[in-house]
Amino acid sequence: MIDKDTYGPWAVIAGGSEGVGASFAHQLAEAGVNLVLIARKPGPLEQTAEEIRATGVEVRTLPLDLLDSAAPRAIRAATEDLDVGLLIFNAGANSYGHEFVTGDLERVREVIDLNITAQLALAHHFGARMKERGRGGIMLVGSLSGYMGQAQISVYSGVKAFGRIFAEGLWLELKPHGVHVLELVLGVTRTPSMERAGLRMDLPGLNVAEPDDVAREGLAHLADGPVWIAGGNDATAEKRNDIGDRAALVTGAHEASQRMLPKE
């Protein structure tokens, strides 16, 4: 069970309307933590909020596109009166199926701005407040993609690698002040966005995690930073981190990932 005294009474979840973000929201609500949910799509956002309000906790919703330069200012204004003990950054843009040199450079910038710029803005604001209060937690949701470059998602892999290294440094900075920092590294997870992408998750031997399970694992290990690899993917991360024959390793992983793509 989440420690409400450390991580409450309010939590902010960016990307909190569906999938893993919604699972975080439901589990925190079960622990009595009030929530600020941020997501781009108002429909799923309000549906999740209504489900959670039925448990008796307070919920504020912010239907915002984090790519909007005004979004951080709106979030600061909407949470100024709240004692926020936990920030979960679960929002993320991907670039499945697009090579870098022939892709849309504006789309590339969006992947960078959402996964890095927006994440930094929220971690900076709430991290400073938590440092001052002397307790709290910041969870950055990462990906196994950040352990190895991959074709068609080269920029996404790069920003996820940045997130992991950033989390390690932030963990060092905030640990002496009672603030826990954790990058929760996800593998293949059965989320609505993955299903909308049409990725094949029924392949033999593929380790597919469920949103509720990885959210529960992440919350249970908030104090075990700076990095926690969810879903039993430790061996995969270790293999991808091998500094040996990177050409063979990257090529082999690429060939395996191609089997997940939708059939033509």
Q: pLDDT (tens digit, 9 = 90+) per residue, 209-245? A: 899 999 999 999 999 999 999 999 999 999 888 888 7
Q: pLDDT (tens digit, 9 = 90+) per residue, 15-55? A: 999 999 999 999 999 999 999 999 999 999 999 999 999 99
- Among 103, 143, 150, which residue's Cα sits nearest to residue 119? 143
- Structurally, at CATH architecture level, domain 4-258 sits in 3-Layer(aba) Sandwich (3.40)
pLDDT at 62 over 90: yes
Average pLDDT over residues 82-88: 98
Q: pTM score, two decimals?
A: 0.90
Average pLDDT over residues 184-206: 67
Listing DSSP states for 129-188 in one string gives HHHHHT-EEEEEEEEGGGGS--TT-HHHHHHHHHHHHHHHHHHHHHGGGTEEEEEEEE-S
Residue 75 confidence class, pLDDT cut points 50, 70, 90: very high
Q: pLDDT (tens digit, 9 = 90+) per residue, 164-173? A: 999 999 999 9
DSSP 8-state code for residue 30: H
- What residue ranges do the domains of the chain occupy? 4-258
Alpha carbons 141 and 183: distance in angstroms, whole number: 6
Total count of residues recorded for the chain: 264
User: Please, are residues 70 and 62 in contact by the beta-carbon 8 Å criterion?
Assistant: no
